[in-house]
Amino acid sequence: MSRSIWKPDFLHEQYSSQLGNQEIYLINRATRLTTEMVGQRLFVYNGVRFFALQVNSDMVGHLAGEFAVTRKRLTVKKGKKK
């Protein structure tokens, strides 16, 4: 279920005061990226570590959690030939 259009974008008060800084550490992945964040470097927490994220104009309107990978990549190991 998506968020209603009439509601404003979610941005915690702690993060709104830090928008002038170059680096912001986001723990809440539900934060929506706004035009004020373009060009800033965000560090998004995925539950284990922080992922660096450089915000550009294509990312505006998306959630910060969409860009922090939470799962490991599947790697297939080759077996030995007999």
pLDDT in tens, 41-55: 889 888 888 989 898
How far is the first Cα of the chain from the last one, in angstroms, to the nearest whole number? 53
Residue 31 has what pLDDT? 83
Give alpha helix (H) positions in 1-82.
13-16
Q: Which fold has domain 22-67?
A: 30s Ribosomal Protein S19; Chain A (3.30.860)
Q: d(Cα 48, Cα 21) in Å, to the nearest integer?
A: 24
pTM, full prediction: 0.67
Q: d(Cα 52, Cα 62) in Å, to the nearest integer?
A: 16
How many CB atoms lie under 10 A from the CB of residue 11? 18
More reliable by pLDDT, 6 or 1: 6
